A = this chain, B = another copy of it.
Amino acid sequence: MSPHRSAPAPALAVVGATGAVGSILLQILSQRADVWGGIRLIASPRSAGRVLAVRGEETEVLALTEDAFEGLGAGDVVLFLTPAEVSARWAPVATARGAVVVDQSAAFREDPEVPLVVPEVNAAAVRSRPRGIVAGPDCVTAAMIAALGALHAEYGLAELAVSSYQAASRSGRAGAEALRRQLSLVAGTPLGEQPGDVRRAVGEDTGPFAAPLALNVVPWSGELRADGWSSHELAVRAETRRILGLEALPVSVTCVQVPVVTGHSLTVRARFEREVAAAHAREILEAAPGVVLVDDPAAGEWPTPADAAGTDPAWVGRLRGSLDDARALEFFVCADNLRKGAALNAAQISELIAGESA
């Protein structure tokens, strides 16, 4: 009884359905227009057999084996919310069946044959995918790229300097739990005034962080690369260049972790090819998809990660024209690292692909 439908609704398979990002994705699927035929949940054998609600239906989680991909084919989407090594191992199994893979890990982000897509900025790139794989960006890039893309379209981005204030749930449930455990050890104490007292209270087990995160900030995220750069910093630079199509964009970036559970924040200084007026930039951001401007310091209004957590948009505030350069702007942006930084962006890409066969 669907005379306009030229093909059956595509199936969606979610690999990594039981993790922190997977749980958010299932919430998101229940809130968005339902474009899917069957939805299949896949996870590590340890989580297989669990029953999760998907669109109100109880759905058993399958173990990640060859069999889990049985019956998937052209037009279907397999969404990987898994560590890079899992995506690298299993994505080819899905594409071999003809399904399109949407991967949220770092496994394919630097592959020139894999488009890196943020739908608000470069949706068209999803159509050119020679390997049958589409990647979403790192959660820090994702937080700022819709705002930057809108400003770039108007003024032409010429240079970028970014500092991050990254949330613990970047490291999934283990990150959030480690932060909570550390906070319970230091909260209400007079700690934090003497060298080493926070380290002693937290102990050696700092979880996924390279140092205690409670009552502290940690200027390290990712793995060591050449000349003292971290993999996450290089990723923000490379991904911003790819998504905006600016292969030589100068980007300076320092990634710092802060004791926030969910919600990445960034300070952004952007210099453009053309002169910018803050009032005009404000209009552009007010109209930009995926961006909400909250910027009235006189009323105490600017975004914070605690307010951005659990929400879809990138929240922008503190927008100011540079005092020294008529072509430069500064702003502050917050976004939920599990949503726009991961599950939401992956869902949006998957819907773009589903729409191709509609």
Contacts and interface: CB of A to CB of B under 8 A. Distances in A.
Given A165-B165, A269-B252, A219 B319 contact: no
A217 B184 contact: no
A321 B227 contact: yes
A250 B325 contact: yes
A235 to B, nearest CB: 13
Given A219-B332, A311-B195, A256 B265 contact: yes
Nearest to A177: B190
Nearest to A321: B227
- Tally of this chain's copies: 2
A210 B324 contact: no
Given A322-B252, A324-B250, A184 B188 contact: yes
Interface residues of A, number: 79
Interface string A254-267: 10101111110101
Contact of A305 (B216, B269, B297, B308): B216
Contact of A216 (B189, B190, B304): B304
Contacts of A220: 297, 300, 302, 318
A224 interface: yes
A307 interface: yes
Contacts of A325: 250
Interface in A206-246: 210-212, 215-220, 224, 227-230, 237
Contacts of A322: 250, 252
Among A220, A227, A302, A304, max chain B CB count under 10 A is at A304
Contacts of A183: 183, 186-188
A12 interface: no
Contact of A193 (B165, B184, B310): B310
Given A267-B256, A300-B211, A324-B252, A228 B192 contact: no
A228 B295 contact: yes
Contacts of A252: 161, 269, 322-324, 328, 330
A269 B320 contact: no
A194 B227 CA distance: 38
Given A227-B320, A320-B229, A328-B252, A306 B265 contact: no
Interface of A: 161, 163, 165, 169, 176, 180-181, 183-184, 186-199, 210-212, 215-220, 224, 227-230, 237, 250-252, 254, 256, 258-263, 265, 267, 269, 278, 295, 297-298, 300, 302-311, 317-325, 328, 330, 332
28 contacts: A161-B269, A163-B163, A165-B258, A176-B193, A180-B187, A181-B188, A184-B188, A187-B187, A192-B261, A193-B262, A195-B307, A195-B311, A197-B309, A210-B300, A212-B306, A215-B306, A217-B265, A219-B318, A228-B295, A228-B318, A250-B325, A251-B324, A252-B323, A252-B328, A254-B332, A256-B265, A258-B258, A259-B260
